[in-house]
Homo-oligomer: A and B are copies of this chain.
Amino acid sequence: MPATCYTYLGPEGTFTEAALRTLPEAATRQLVPKVSVPAALDAVRNGEAAAALVPIENSVEGGVTATLDELATGEPLMIYREVVLPIAFALLVRPGTALADVKTVTGHPVAQPQVRNWLAAHLPDAVWESAASNADGARLVREGRYDAAFAGEFAAATYGLEPLVTDIHDARNAETRFVLAGRPARPAARTGADRTSLVVWLGDDHPGALLELLQEFAARGVNLMRIESRPTGEGMGRYCFSVDCEGHITDRRVGETLMGLKRTCPKVRFLGSYPRAGVDPDDLSTASERAGTSDDAFVAAADWLARCQDGRP
């Protein structure tokens, strides 16, 4: 595969592939499915691929721990883009199958809680068995092992099936967020509606350390978007925190916050600043911004400090 290709969490026909195809920069590249998140990211680390798209968070299931842990450790990677995809399932069947014919259904275990109510209402007697992925379930339907599979509607063509029912989802607004990770380089340009991702390790000995971490953000008026604890692997009770905040590393308030964390925490890993998917900078109200946290305010304060140091306060 060419080093300019993009890898993704496969197999073909998964939501990750669908997410990747929404990115203009992917349109002209070879897209290579990988069997796992580590495999997709290792291809980038090894130089076999330019970037990898992997799921990082689901609004129903929570953080994707394989992704969080892979980004937190090992050779550094950086995030350049995010994609947020609404998750709705189709019931895929072999052409000609009617709903009344469906006795066995399959899908990824994660899909099951999201279609449970629909199953109870429409196929109360169908037997569910899990597959390794939604796409794999589709393949097993094509092979005749099950009557129907829950998968993305877009997977039908790949596996020669047809969507019997579409837009199935129990939870309102179920979404998955994916990130495009590459080797470290300059962050994506600031758009005004950006997200910055970090991993922060806390000192062991100090019960108030998480509070102090959050105060580094609060002191500069930087809003947290997501915080997730992950074990460091050094024993029960030792955590690091995967954090997303609003803003871009070149925003002065974000830069000062990052420096504050770097100074006071044992270890910080910067994972990138990138545009927030589906958010127009012009729609972002600055009303909830804490006073004095704009770039202009930072520049004016630095000027004033310099004047004070020069004796012209």
CB closest chain-B residue, reference A84:
B236
A167 and B264 alpha carbons, distance in the complex (Å): 38
A310-B207 CB under 8 A given contacts A61-B231, A262-B305, A292-B263: no
Q: A254: nearest residue on chain B (CB-CB)?
A: B305
CB distance from A168 to the nearest CB of B (A): 16
A127 at the interface (CB under 8 A from B): no
A126 within 8 A of B: no
Chain A: interface secondary structure?
mixed
The answer on a CB contact under 8 Å between B231 and A228 is no
Q: Please indicate the chain B residues that have their CB under 8 angstroms from the CB of A268 in the complex.
A: 304
Give the oligomeric copy count: 4
Nearest residue, chain B, Cβ from A170: B233
A225 at the binding interface (Cβ < 8 Å): yes
* A47 CA / B268 CA spacing, docked (Å): 48
Is the Cβ of A301 less than 8 Å from the Cβ of B259?
yes
Q: Are B312 and A184 in contact (CB under 8 A)?
A: yes
Measured CB to CB, the closest approach of chain B to A130, in angstroms, equals 9
Counting CB contacts under 8 A, is A313 at the interface?
yes
Which residues on B sit within 8 Å (CB–CB) of A270?
A: 308, 313
Determine which residue in A65, A216, A249, A308 has the highest number of CB atoms from chain B within 10 A of its CB, and name it: A308
